């Protein structure tokens, strides 16, 4: 059987990721009224009425220290945002768009003469990874997004509505 380079690289990535994988099942956790991302802890927490519903491990932008300043800096933004749309058919298993940049982000980028960027999502793993979650991620790898496992994004997707607040803290 002949395998393409992409198939071999994907299989290798999955094999390397398996030590961090855990079997999990998507379950109904109810509606969340806000999302809290704590970059330093590599955690995404879903809250309802001031109580944590569930906590998920995350991977961040490849340069995670500090807030996002411009397109291409591989940083994850910091601040108060909202889920403003969703993509069921993304390159990553489901994706929730975060409302970055806000007016302050735009003004800061304008003052610096740079493009603030804008394609910031909470998303799963590459779609071809299948139904897998991680106990922790071995490294930060996104271009500034917040990545969770594929089962986790299904739970988060079902738990939040468009308009749900997202607080991203250092």
pTM of the model: 0.82
- 55: nearest Cα among 80, 29, 81: 29
- Sequence ranges of the domains in the chain: 5-169
Over residues 5-32, the mean pLDDT reads 49
CATH topology for 5-169 is L,D-transpeptidase catalytic domain-like (2.40.440)
Return the higher-pLDDT residue of 16 and 100: 100
pLDDT at 27: 54
Q: What is the pLDDT of residues 141-156, one digit of tens each?
A: 999 999 999 999 999 9
Tell me the C-alpha to C-alpha distance, in Å, between residue 91 and each of 22, 29, 66, 81, 131.
22, 25, 26, 23, 15
pLDDT at 131: 85
Q: How many CA atoms lie within 13 A of 59 on its CB side?
A: 24
The percent of residues above 90 in pLDDT, for the chain, comes to: 75
> For the chain, how far is it from start to end, CA to CA, in angstroms?
48
pLDDT at 14: 41
* Rounded-to-integer distance, Cα 31 and Cα 10, Å: 34
């Amino acid at each position: 059987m002949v395998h393409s380079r992409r198939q071999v690289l994907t299989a290798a990535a999955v094999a390397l990721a398996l030590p961090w994988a855990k079997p999990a099942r998507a379950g109904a956790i109810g509606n969340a009224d806000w999302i809290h991302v704590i970059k330093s802890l590599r955690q995404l927490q879903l809250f309802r009425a001031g109580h944590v519903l569930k906590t998920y491990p995350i991977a961040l932008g490849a340069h995670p220290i500090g807030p996002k300043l411009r397109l291409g800096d591989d940083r994850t933004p910091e601040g108060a945002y909202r889920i403003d749309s969703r993509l069921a058919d993304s390159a990553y298993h489901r994706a929730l768009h975060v409302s970055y940049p806000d007016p302050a982000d735009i003004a800061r980028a304008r003052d610096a003469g740079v493009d603030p960027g804008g394609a910031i999502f909470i998303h799963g793993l590459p779609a071809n990874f299948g139904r897998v979650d991680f106990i922790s991620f071995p490294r930060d790898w996104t271009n500034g997004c917040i990545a969770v496992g594929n089962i986790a994004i299904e739970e988060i997707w079902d738990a939040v509505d468009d308009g749900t607040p997202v607080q991203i803290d250092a």
